[in-house]
Amino acid sequence: MNEKEVLIEVKDLRKYFQVGRHQVLKAVDGVSFKIYKGETLGLVGESGCGKTTCGKTVMGLYDATGGEVIFDGVEIHSLHKKEKKEFTKRAQIIFQDPYSSLNPRMTVGDIIGEGIDIHKLYTGKERQEKIYELLELVGLNREHALRFPHEFSGGQRQRIGIARALAIEPEFIVCDEPISALDVSIQAQIVNLLIELQKKRNLTYLFIAHDLSMVKHISDRVGVMYLGNMVEFASSDELYSKPLHPYTKALMSAIPIPDPKEEKKKTRIPIEGEIPSPVNPKPGCRFAARCKYATELCRSETPKLEEMEEGHYVACHRVKEI
Ligand code: SF4
């Protein structure tokens, strides 16, 4: 990783959706973190925890209800049209579903070339060469430029999605569950490709996923989200070796261990029930309804994210006792 230079600072970010007349869905509710240049920040949690909404709001695809996203010193939600275009040249997103995120009527060459055209980066032969270069960079070949998305496998389509994101030479990429829709055998290939590209191009990633083992493999630091809140945040090694929040402990205990003997010895911590609805959430700790340690304090007061050890933050009233 480079010197610790902050590329993105997210401060008290909130994204609410109005549901009907009187209800509010608090998808992201007061989330803060920094992403350093050249690092990968992983964001994990069950589906419905707000991690994808957080990624899209960081990208400016959703307006923020409150808080700030500061990219290289500039708050992105207050940008004017021209500045926003400049931001989208520096920041890109890779989507979860490689099946629906590529236009089926466009050739792969035109899908990759679209960003180049929008930002007027190259034309004619130079544009063509750039597309070939990108296809080769992601492990495809130049003959693929004339084909259509349906002619490719899921893994290959995600490679096309990555080439499209890289076409305008961004510095920052939000990887929104880029491997969830892929076969397990292909997932590691895509993660390894992302790691290789990061080294070659000094990219900074926000990597969103619910597969905790893959997140560990790619991330320098990891944030755990639960029902719109960040509940734990630490370096990847620290979080996986010493999770402190009851929710993170339960998530970690569910990661399968490849060695069957070790897997047998492991104690799995069950999480009771489903993730509650983020519509009009109750006061207090959002995990209280599923937490065996919950007390009256937990049900009335929201715990703040506090630094327990250097760089290791936890939001739990009882973290020191459990
Ligand atoms: Fe459980 Fe209370 Fe900690 Fe929330 S604050 S995780 S309910 S012990």
309 falls within a domain: no
194 lines ligand 1 (CB under 6 A): no
Dmax over Cα atoms in the chain, in whole Å? 68
What is the reported pLDDT for 310?
95
Pick from 26-40, 120-134, 218-232, 265-279: least confident: 265-279
Q: For residue range 242-264, list pLDDT tens digits in order.
A: 999 999 999 998 887 777 777 67
User: In b/e form, how buried is each residue of 142-171, taking b as 16+ CB within 10 angstroms?
Assistant: eebbeeebeebebbbbbbbbbbbbbbbebb
307 falls within a domain: no
Q: What is the mean pLDDT of the chain?
A: 93
Residue 207 lies in domain: 6-219
Place of tokens 């893959």: 214
Q: For residue range 300-309, list pLDDT tens digits in order.
A: 999 999 999 9
122 falls within a domain: yes
129 falls within a domain: yes
Angstrom distance (rounded) from CA 271 to CA 283: 20
305 lines ligand 1 (CB under 6 A): no
88 falls within a domain: yes
271 lines ligand 1 (CB under 6 A): no
pTM of the model: 0.92
Expressed in angstroms and rounded, the spacing between residue 170 Cα and the centre of ligand 1 is 40
Instruction: For residue 291, name the pLDDT band (cuts at 50, 70, 90).
Output: very high
Specify the CATH number for the domain of residue 189.
3.40.50.300
Q: Residue 231 CA: which ligand 1 atom is closest?
A: 6
317 lines ligand 1 (CB under 6 A): yes
Instruction: For residue 215, name the pLDDT band (cuts at 50, 70, 90).
Output: very high
Q: Whose CA is nearest to atom 3 of ligand 1?
A: 316
Angstrom distance (rounded) from CA 188 to CA 180: 11
What is the reported pLDDT for 213?
86
286 lines ligand 1 (CB under 6 A): no
291 lines ligand 1 (CB under 6 A): yes
What is the reported pLDDT for 2?
47
303 lines ligand 1 (CB under 6 A): yes
24 falls within a domain: yes
266 falls within a domain: no
From 292, 298, 321, give the residue whose CB has the most ligand 1 atoms within 8 Å, as the site to mutate.
Answer: 298
Q: For residue range 150-174, list pLDDT tens digits in order.
A: 999 999 999 999 999 999 999 999 9
305 falls within a domain: no
CA distances from 295 to 24, 225, 227, 302, 305 (A): 26, 21, 19, 12, 18
What is the reported pLDDT for 261?
74
Angstrom distance (rounded) from CA 118 to CA 255: 42
Q: What is the mean pLDDT of residues 70-94?
A: 94
Total domains in the chain come to: 1
